[in-house]
Chain A
Amino acid sequence: MNIVVCTKQVPDTAATLKVDEQSNVSWGDAPLVINPWDEYAIEEAIRLKEKHGGKVTVLSVGPEQAREALKQAVAMGCDDAILVWDASLDGSDTLATSYILAQAIKKIGSVDVVLFGKQAIDGDTGLIQGGVARRLGWPLLSFVAKIEELDPAAKSIKVNRLLEQGRQAVTSQLPVVISVVKEINEPRYPSFMNIRKASKLQIPVWDSGAISVEAGKVGRANAATKWTRVFPLPARTGSVEIITGDSPQAIASALADKLMAEKII
């Protein structure tokens, strides 16, 4: 089993995001972390390896500092890490990034499964997985909550997708692109043995030449999507009302009336 898991380095969930008048987003000196949704994908990748053998490569497109996210993934149990970056890739949108990742996955070669978290917590688009699958010509199994069966010999997989309407069982041939939801597992802690391994790991950087990326398809200048304006959500407002009444029954009844009037119940 040759497994690739893709990850993105994002600002910490605890970071306070600020947006200025020029639509610049900043998060002070809050740390950058592995995208929390990706931790489930990494955990599932490691579990697949533990069950079926093979190896897990973690892949990220991003600047030098994204190495830390890759190291974290190796500390959890991934075997190898690859960083894809050069200045020409800066500012690539989701369309371009899916192209870059697909090219990198082709270069890795004979991959059976590519795993993603369901989305990244910064852009929250959830578009990359579909783009990568399309470019590779592989099926996309999105929002997977359970891998029911995987037969490496028969190159087949059966998964359970978590949809708003319920669960859907899907079978597919390998290779596939999978995006996972948090119901799939509980990500492990990095072990100290693997932290040590990660700290010593030499992570190769593949530039656009190495993965045969066409310059006209990537970077800020070639982005198909433009962020014309970014603005913070208006702060939530609320008010407190203490309901009084002669008896607990009367108070409860008044509360129920108000909740029904607001269409909450």
Chain B
Amino acid sequence: MDFEFSREHQALRKLVREFAEEEVRPATRQADRTSQPPLDVIKKAAAIGLLGVPFPREYGGLGAGETGYCILMEELGRVDTSVATVIGAHIGIGAMAIYLGGNQHLREKYLPDLCAGKKIAAFALTEAQAGSDAASIKLRATREGDSYILDGSKMWITNGPLASVMAVLAVTDPALGARGGATAFVIETRHNGSPAEGFTPGKYEHKMGLHGSPTSALSFDNFRVPQENVLGQIGLGFVVFMQTLDVGRVSLGAATLGGAQSVLHHALEWAAMREQFGKSIAQNQSIQFMVADMAAEIEALRSLVYRTAWLVDNHKPFIKEAGMCKLLGSEIASRCVDRAGQIYGALGYSRDTDVERSYRDCRITEIFEGTNEIQRILIAEQLFREVGVKIRP
């Protein structure tokens, strides 16, 4: 067993950390206040190769695998969860769906531009009536000659206001439903910044946190997609989307790992500095217990995340562990920001601290990319499958 990162992964971490500290951090507060994503920072990240970390070099990526991608997400998550979310949705689910589901032609057509940051990607699954119940999607794709016509809408799409390339799941056969009747497509929603014909970016969500990561609804009216843009097989789009989410959960765990690590760091610094009753509050066992619990959980999460990334990179089964990365990562991060807020006292309630922003940013991680309740169901499903019991149809 070897717990050392390769030299190349170490070099990647060094580069991302430097970039995150010098470029991402200064832009963080303004993005949070103005709800404007720091697009120049994303552009700079693209210039040094960060938007293609996991993908093979033949598609313009860095070929650094899931481990490299988790390093990217951890280091970005340490500094700014919003930027991590914009880049994570772009790479980890948007481009990833094209990589996992697309044939050679689609990969070659879309991935180089996405890796180079010339275009931003999104992953469009959720609808008003289809959140946890993703199989209930209604967006309709009707065959017309050698094209499909999309009609309907999506909701809560990360990067919705930015993306010009999207992986979208639509119903091609209502009689069959999600399993057999849903098809994944890669679509081009913007040309030179203007919405494509038939596409209208919908309502912009005003969220509790992640202000630097724009989220919107999408609306399709007679939107034409060439048949060659089907990801995977017709009718089997649900599989492509679920596979993409499985991988995405590992890196989401990595982003929460970075976030948790960062609030622990803040909590330690503040506890060492803050004096009450004539001594530093770090002298109080109540504080010591909190930071010790945070550190122990973070360390356990780190092992889980990178072991799971190793499973992915070595083509071993990882679905159960990926669900655990998302589940534990989000809950550990939430506990850590909660404790850090308590250690900070009233100051942590002030918008002048990073802890306050982390508190708002963190909450969504227990909800998006499959709620933690769904994660528990998926993990249990795998557990029972291992003992030969099928608990879902």
Give 12 CB contacts A-B under 8 Å. A188-B47, A189-B15, A189-B19, A189-B44, A189-B47, A190-B48, A192-B49, A192-B50, A192-B53, A193-B62, A199-B7, A199-B11
Complex-state Cα separation, A190 to B49, whole angstroms = 10
Q: Are A191 and B11 in contact (CB under 8 A)?
A: no
Q: Is the interface of A mostly helix, strand, loop or mixed?
A: helix
- Tell me, in angstroms, the Cα distance from A195 to B12 when the chains sit together: 9
A191 vs B19: C-alpha distance in the bound complex, in angstroms? Answer: 11
Closest partner residue, chain B, to A192 (CB atom): B49
Question: In the assembled complex, which residues on chain B have CB atoms less than 8 Å from the CB atom of A199?
Answer: 7-8, 11
- Flag whether A107 is at the interface (Cβ < 8 A): no
Q: Are A189 and B48 in contact (CB under 8 A)?
A: yes
Q: With A and B bound together, what is the CA distance between A134 and B15 in angstroms?
A: 39
CB of A18 within 8 Å of the partner chain? no
How close is B47's CB to chain A, nearest CB, in angstroms?
Answer: 7
Q: Does A106 contact B (CB under 8 A)?
A: no
Contact call B7/A193, Cβ cutoff below 8 A: no
Please tell me if A167 contacts chain B, counting CB pairs below 8 Å.
no
Chain A, 158-190, contact with B by CB distance < 8 Å: what is the 0/1 string?
000000000000000000000000000000111
Contact with B along A196-228 (1 / 0, CB 8 A): 100100000000000000000000000000000
Chain B residues within an 8 Å CB radius of A191: 47-49
User: Are B47 and A195 touching (Cβ within 8 A)?
Assistant: no
A195 to B44 alpha-carbon distance, docked (Å): 16
In the complex the two chains form, is A190's CB within 8 Å of B62's CB? no
Give chain A residues whose Cβ lies under 8 Å from the Cβ of B44: 189
A232 to chain B, nearest CB (A): 30
B window 254-278: CB within 8 A of A:
none
* Nearest CB in chain B: distance from A71 CB, A: 10
A interface residues with partner B (beta carbon < 8 Å): 188-193, 195-196, 199
Tell me the complex Cα distance, A190–B11, Å: 11
The reply on B58 being an interface residue by CB < 8 A is no
**Across-interface contacts of B144 in A (CB, < 8 A):** none
B18 adjacent to chain A (CB < 8 Å): yes
What residues make up the interface of B, taking CB atoms closer than 8 Å to A?
7-8, 11-12, 15, 18-19, 23, 44, 47-50, 53, 62, 64
- Give chain A residues whose Cβ lies under 8 Å from the Cβ of B18: 189
Kindly list chain A residues whose C-beta atoms are within 8 Å of the C-beta of B48.
188-192
A59–chain B nearest beta-carbon distance, Å: 24
B12 in complex: contacting residue of A188, A189, A192, CB < 8 Å: A192
**Complex: A195 Cα to B13 Cα, angstroms:** 12
Q: Which residue of chain A has the shortest Cβ distance to B18 in the bound complex?
A: A189
Chain B: minimal CB distance from A88 (Å): 33
Within the assembled complex, what's the spacing in Å between the Cα atoms of A71 and B290? 43
> Which of A188, A189, A192, A195 has most B Cβ within 10 Å?
A192
Residues of A within 8 A of B8 (CB): 196, 199
**Nearest CB of B to A69, in Å:** 16
How many angstroms from the CA of A78 to the CA of B47 in the assembled complex? 16
Chain B residues whose CB sits within 8 angstroms of the CB of A193 once the complex forms = 49, 62
Task: Given contacts A189-B18, A199-B8, list 15 more A-B pairs with CB under 8 A.
Answer: A188-B47, A188-B48, A189-B23, A191-B47, A191-B49, A192-B11, A192-B12, A192-B15, A192-B53, A192-B64, A193-B49, A193-B62, A195-B11, A196-B62, A199-B7
In the complex, chain B residues whose CB is within 8 Å of the CB of A195: 11, 15
List chain A residues, Cβ under 8 A from B64.
192
Task: Output the nearest chain B residue to A196 by Cβ-Cβ distance.
Answer: B8
Can you name the residue of chain B whose Cβ is closest to the Cβ of A198?
Answer: B11
The 10 closest A-B CB pairs, nearest first, are A192-B49, A191-B48, A189-B48, A191-B49, A193-B49, A192-B62, A195-B11, A192-B15, A192-B48, A189-B19
Shortest Cβ distance from A191 into B: residue? B48
B19 CB to closest chain A CB (Å) equals 6
Chain A residues whose CB sits within 8 angstroms of the CB of B19 once the complex forms? 189
Q: With the chains together, A52 CA to B64 CA distance in Å?
A: 32
A188 and chain B: residue at smallest CB distance: B47
Q: Which residues of B contact A196 (CB under 8 A)?
A: 8, 11, 62
Task: State in angstroms the CA–CA spacing of A192 and B47 once bound together.
Answer: 9
**Chain A residues within an 8 Å CB radius of B23:** 189
**In the complex, what residues of B have CB within 8 A of residue A192's CB?**
11-12, 15, 48-50, 53, 62, 64
